[in-house]
Amino acid sequence: MNAEIIAVGSELLLGQIANTNAQFLSQQLAGLGINVYFHTVVGDNAARLEQAIKVARTRADLIIFTGGLGPTKDDLTKETIARLLQRKLVTDEEALRSIEAYFARTNRIMTENNKKQALVLQGSVILKNEHGMAPGMAITIDSITYMLLPGPPKEMQPMFLKYGRAFLLEKLGQQERIESRVLRFFGIGESELETRIQDLIDQQSNPTIAPLAGDGEVTLRLTAKHRSEAEAKKMLDETEKKIVERVGAYLYGYNEETLFEKAIQTLKAQKKTVAAAESLTGGLFLEQLTAVPGASQVVRGGVVCYTNDVKEKVLGVPHAVLTADGAVSERCACLLAENVRTLCQADIGISFTGVAGPAPLEGKPVGTVYIGISTSDNRTDVYPLTLSGQRDAIRVRTAKYGCSFLLKALDGYR
Amino acid sequence: MNAEIIAVGSELLLGQIANTNAQFLSQQLAGLGINVYFHTVVGDNAARLEQAIKVARTRADLIIFTGGLGPTKDDLTKETIARLLQRKLVTDEEALRSIEAYFARTNRIMTENNKKQALVLQGSVILKNEHGMAPGMAITIDSITYMLLPGPPKEMQPMFLKYGRAFLLEKLGQQERIESRVLRFFGIGESELETRIQDLIDQQSNPTIAPLAGDGEVTLRLTAKHRSEAEAKKMLDETEKKIVERVGAYLYGYNEETLFEKAIQTLKAQKKTVAAAESLTGGLFLEQLTAVPGASQVVRGGVVCYTNDVKEKVLGVPHAVLTADGAVSERCACLLAENVRTLCQADIGISFTGVAGPAPLEGKPVGTVYIGISTSDNRTDVYPLTLSGQRDAIRVRTAKYGCSFLLKALDGYR
C-alpha cells in the first residue's frame, strides 16, 4: 500500500503552524509497513484541493486527509471529495446526537452550521471523534482508500490510533508486517556511534538500522519485516543484542521514553528521592523531571540559585568559595549538590553551575559546566563538561547530562 | 507570484522530523506578498522528485526546494532539476574553496564526494552558505523561478534571510509590498476577542485581521498591502489603534515577543528583581524567564517547593497552614510569595501552587491554581484560577498567567 497524506488548511500555507499531523501519520504508517511517498499541503480552496486529489490518485492507493471537517464554510474537504467521487453526503445520526450532547453538556446553543459536521460520505466507515465534534471516515472506491481525519492533533491522533489504525490493519490483512524499535542513547556522539556499528548498518537489510541525532541524543531505529510478528520481534532482539555488545553502555531506553521518564521510573523503583540546585539551567532540570506524571513521589524540589547571593544565603556556599573558586567551579558544584540534598532532605542532591552564554562569566568561556551529584555525606561526584552551541542548546544538554549522571548514580542505565 | 515549496528528504516521509522549513518559508513568503498555494514533501528518489517538479510547474511560477544538496548519493535535488531542465552542473570555484577551507579549519580530510557540494546549475545565482558547506542557488527558466536551499534549518534560514529574500525582492521589483504586524494578547479567550472586534474583521479587507489562538495566547495578524512601505505601516497603525480601543487591556506585545521577554525587559527598565516559589510548575516559570538572555540582571532565583516539607522547611509556611488550608490554597500562595521574596532578597516574589493532575490533590480538582504576587511587606495579591486541559497545558498556562500578573504588578502591560 502506497500512501499520500494531504493536509488541508490555509494556516499551514501561511506558516502559522507546521504540518505535525503529517509527521505523526508518517510514523504511524511506517509502523504498519505502509510506504508514504508524498505529503501535500493545500489551502481551504475547493479548486486547488480537487487538483491535489487528482494528482494523488495517480500515485497513491491510500490518501489520508487531515483538516477541513469543521462547521464553517472554509471547511470543504468532505464536500470536495463527495463532488469528485460523485458520492452523496448523508447525516450520521450517531454523530449528530453526539454533537448535540456536546452543546448541551457545555451549556451552549448549537447553531445550524454545526449540523454540517455530522455529514459523512455515504457508505463510509465512521471513525468516532472522542475528543471533538467532527467524525472521521474511511471509504474505498475504485481501489483507492480515502481516509478523512480532523485537523486538530488532539482530535486526530486518538481517532487514528483507536479507529483509523484498526481500519488499515484490517485492510492490510495477511500482508507483511513491519515491526520497529527505537534504541535511545545518550553520552555518545552520532558519528562515533555510527563508526562503531558501521559494519552492522552496511550488512543488514532486514532489520534495517537507521541512526538519527538531535538535542544531544542519538537514536537507532531498527525495522524488521516479516509475515509473523513474533519472528519480526525475534529479528529485532538479535540485532539489538549485537548493537548492545558494542555500545550498550550508552543505551538508556526504548522508543519514546525520555531520560527524565527513565529517571523517575528508576527513582520510584529504588524508593529514592532527589533535589536539585540549578544555576545555569534556571529550573529546566526540575521542570523536565516534574513534567513526568507521578514525579511528586520522588522529586522533593530544589533551589534555582541564579545569583551568588542565593547560592550563599539559601544554599550555604561560603562567600570565600564564591570569591576564590567562583560560582562556576568544581567546589561550588560540590557544595550546591551536598547542601541542596540536606536542605530538601533528599537521598540524592544534584547541582548545575556553568556558563550558558551569550557572554563568558568569571573569565570562563561559554559552555563551561559543572554538574555535582551528592549521594551521601561521604560521596559527591562532580562532572566537568565543555559544551558547544547556543544558550538554549547548552541548557537543554546540561539538564540531560544531569539526568544521565543521576541514572549512572542509581546504576539505572538500561 | 505563486509559490510551491518542495521539501526533499525521506526522513520527512518517515515522520522523523516535521517540515518546519516549509513553515518558515511560508511565513517569509507571506511577508513578501507571495502566495503559497502548495507544499509538497517527496523522498530521496529521483523519479518521484521529477514527478513532483512536473506537477509544481503546472501550478507555480516560483518553486522553492529544501534539502538534497549534500555530498551523499542520496542527495539528488540539483541533479534531478539539471536533468529535467537540461542544464549543466558546473563547479562553483568560490564554493569549492569555501568547502576546502572548512575541512582545513576543522582538521579533517576532505573526501572526494564533498566536491559534489560545489556543483551548481549553470547560469544560476549562487546563494552563499555561511553556516554549512552546500551553497544554494536560484535560476529563472521559461518564466519559472527555481530556488534551491539546503535542508538543515540552521543553514537554510540564514541563507534565505540574507540572500534568498534579496533575490526575490529584486524579482518582485516595484510590485505591491505586504507589511504585517502581529499583536499578542493574553488573558482573553479567542472567541471573546473575536466577538469584540468582529465588525472590524468583517469590514476590513486591507489591512486584513487574522486571529490565531494557541497555548493560552491569542494573536491578531494585521496585513496591509500597498506600493509604499510607509503607507502600509500607516494603515497598520490605524487598524491597531481601533483594536486597542476595544481590547488594548489584553495586548502585551508585538510579533515574536514572548510574555517572558516582555517581563525581563520591564524588570530591567524598572531596575527591579524577581524570585519565584514554584510548586505545580516545578521550575517552568523560572526556566522560561531565565531562557531570555540577560535574565541574570533581574532574576534572583527561587525555590521549587514540590513537597510540603520544602514549603515548610525552606520557605517557612507554617505546618498549621498546610494542614488547615492545604498547600493548594490562597493562604499558602500568599506566604510562598512573601517568603520567597524575602529569602531571595528580591523586589517581587511570585508563587505558584495548584493541581496540575492527572489526579486531584487535597480534594481539589485538577486545574485549581493559586498565583501569589508579593511586591512589599504590605502588599501581596493572590489570583485564583480554574484551568482546563492536560497536565502539560495547565503548567504552561499557569507559568504564562504568572508572567502576565507580574507584568500587571509592574504596570507593564503594553
Nearest by CB to B304, which of A30, A38, A283? Answer: A283
Q: What is the pLDDT of residue A36?
A: 96
Q: What is the pLDDT of residue B320?
A: 97
Q: What is the pLDDT of residue B110?
A: 81
Phi-psi region of A274 (alpha: psi -120 to 50; beta: other; left: phi over 0): beta
The answer to whether residue B128 scores a pLDDT higher than 90 is yes
Q: Do A38 and B37 touch (CB under 8 A)?
A: no
Q: Do A291 and B395 touch (CB under 8 A)?
A: yes
How wide is the angle at C-alpha A342 spanned by C-alphas A338 and A345, nearest 5°? 135
The mean pLDDT of A1-19, rounded to a whole number, is 94
Q: What is the pLDDT of residue A106?
A: 66
Enumerate the residues of chain A whose CB falls inside 8 A of the CB of residue B48. 37-38, 59
The per-residue pLDDT for range A267-319, each reduced to its tens digit, is: 999 999 999 999 999 999 999 999 998 899 999 999 999 999 999 999 999 99
| Separation between Cα atoms, residue B410 and residue B80, nearest integer Å | 58
Average predicted confidence (pLDDT) for chain A: 92
Phi-psi region of B174 (alpha: psi -120 to 50; beta: other; left: phi over 0): alpha
The answer to whether residue A174 scores a pLDDT higher than 70 is no
Please state whether beta strands A348-354 and A274-278 pair in parallel, antiparallel, or not at all (unpaired): parallel
Q: Do B296 and A306 touch (CB under 8 A)?
A: yes
Enumerate the residues of chain B whose CB falls inside 8 A of the CB of residue A297. none
Spacing of C-alpha A327 from chain mean position: 34
The mean pLDDT of A216-232, rounded to a whole number, is 86
The per-residue pLDDT for range A242-268, each reduced to its tens digit, is: 999 999 999 999 988 999 999 999 999
| Separation between Cα atoms, residue A276 and residue A350, nearest integer Å | 5
| Separation between Cα atoms, residue B98 and residue B95, nearest integer Å | 5
Specify the fold of B259-409. Maf protein (3.90.950)
The mean pLDDT of B88-106, rounded to a whole number, is 88
Q: What is the pLDDT of residue A414?
A: 55
Please state whether beta strands A348-354 and A379-386 pair in parallel, antiparallel, or not at all (unpaired): unpaired
How sure is the predictor about B404, in pLDDT bands with cuts at 50, 70 and 90? very high
| Residue A315, SS3 per DSSP | coil
Distance from CA of B26 to the nearest CA of A (A): 5
The answer to whether residue B174 scores a pLDDT higher than 60 is no
How sure is the predictor about B125, in pLDDT bands with cuts at 50, 70 and 90? very high
How sure is the predictor about A175, in pLDDT bands with cuts at 50, 70 and 90? low
**Best of A50, A131, A307, A341 to mutate (most B CBs within 10 Å, chain B):** A307
| Separation between Cα atoms, residue B186 and residue B174, nearest integer Å | 38
Average predicted confidence (pLDDT) for chain B: 92
Are A250 and A187 a contacting pair, CB within 8 Å? Answer: yes
Nearest by CB to A15, which of B27, B52, B309? Answer: B27
**Best of B44, B299, B304 to mutate (most A CBs within 10 Å, chain A):** B304
**Residue A114 DSSP label:** G
Q: What is the pLDDT of residue A330?
A: 98
Q: What is the pLDDT of residue A211?
A: 81
**Residue A377 DSSP label:** T
Q: What is the pLDDT of residue A73?
A: 78
**Residue A106 DSSP label:** T
Please report which residue ranges of B248-281 form alpha helices under DSSP H: 259-270
Pick the CATH number of A2-172 from 3.30.565.10, 3.30.479.30, 3.40.980.10, 3.40.50.2300: 3.40.980.10
Share of chain A above pLDDT 90, in %: 71
Q: Do B19 and A22 touch (CB under 8 A)?
A: yes
CA dihedral of residues B288, B294, B295, B297 (deg, nearest 10): 180
Amino acid at B126: I
Count helices and strands in chain A by DSSP H and E runs: 15, 17
Cβ neighbours of B166 (radius 10 Å) = 13
Q: Do B18 and A19 touch (CB under 8 A)?
A: yes
The per-residue pLDDT for range B289-343, each reduced to its tens digit, is: 999 988 999 999 999 999 999 999 999 999 999 999 999 999 999 999 999 999 9
- Give all strands (DSSP E) within B198-304, no chain letters: 208-214, 217-226, 251-254, 274-278, 299-304
Q: Do B309 and A345 touch (CB under 8 A)?
A: yes
Q: Do A278 and B283 touch (CB under 8 A)?
A: yes
Q: What is the pLDDT of residue A120?
A: 97
Q: Give me B130's grid cell.
A: 555561511
The mean pLDDT of A185-211, rounded to a whole number, is 86
Enumerate the residues of chain A whose CB falls inside 8 A of the CB of residue B358. 293
**Best of B25, B28, B41, B201 to mutate (most A CBs within 10 Å, chain A):** B41
- Asked which of A49-63, B105-119, B220-234 is least confident by mean pLDDT, the reply is B105-119
Distance from CA of B28 to the nearest CA of A (A): 8
The answer to whether residue A412 scores a pLDDT higher than 80 is no
| Residue B284, SS3 per DSSP | helix
How sure is the predictor about B412, in pLDDT bands with cuts at 50, 70 and 90? low
Share of chain B above pLDDT 70, in %: 98
**Best of B154, B264, B281, B307 to mutate (most A CBs within 10 Å, chain A):** B307
| Separation between Cα atoms, residue A69 and residue A47, nearest integer Å | 17
The domain made up of A177-254 is a member of CATH 3.30.70.2860: yes
The answer to whether residue B49 scores a pLDDT higher than 90 is yes
The answer to whether residue B414 scores a pLDDT higher than 60 is no
How sure is the predictor about B413, in pLDDT bands with cuts at 50, 70 and 90? low
Q: State ipTM.
A: 0.74
Enumerate the residues of chain A whose CB falls inside 8 A of the CB of residue B314. 301, 303, 314, 343-344
Nearest by CB to B283, which of A284, A296, A345? Answer: A284
Q: What is the pLDDT of residue B319?
A: 97
Domain boundaries, chain B: 2-172, 177-254, 259-409
Angle of helix B190-203 relative to helix B229-247, nearest 10 degrees, comes to: 130
Q: Do A18 and B19 touch (CB under 8 A)?
A: yes
Residue of chain B whose Cα is closest to the Cα of A60: B48
Q: Do B282 and A287 touch (CB under 8 A)?
A: yes
Q: What is the pLDDT of residue A251?
A: 95
The mean pLDDT of B43-67, rounded to a whole number, is 96
Distance from CA of A352 to the nearest CA of B (A): 13
The answer to whether residue B177 scores a pLDDT higher than 90 is no
Helix (H) or strand (E) holding A80: helix A77-85
Enumerate the residues of chain B whose CB falls inside 8 A of the CB of residue A51. 59
Cβ-Cβ contacts under 8 Å for B260 (sequence gap 6 or more): B288, B289, B291, B292, B403
Buried b (16+ CB within 10 A) or exposed e, A229-266: eeebeebbeebbeebeeebeebbbbeeeebbbbbbbbb
Is residue A289 classed exposed, middle or buried when 0-12, 13-18 and 19+ CB atoms within 10 A define those classes? buried
The answer to whether residue B75 scores a pLDDT higher than 90 is no
The per-residue pLDDT for range A68-125, each reduced to its tens digit, is: 998 887 889 999 999 999 999 999 999 999 888 878 776 667 888 888 899 999 999 9
Of A134 and A104, more confident: A134
- Asked which of A87-91, A406-410, B389-393 is least confident by mean pLDDT, the reply is B389-393
Distance from CA of A123 to the nearest CA of B (A): 30
- Give all strands (DSSP E) within A128-282, no chain letters: 136-141, 144-149, 177-186, 208-214, 217-226, 251-254, 274-278
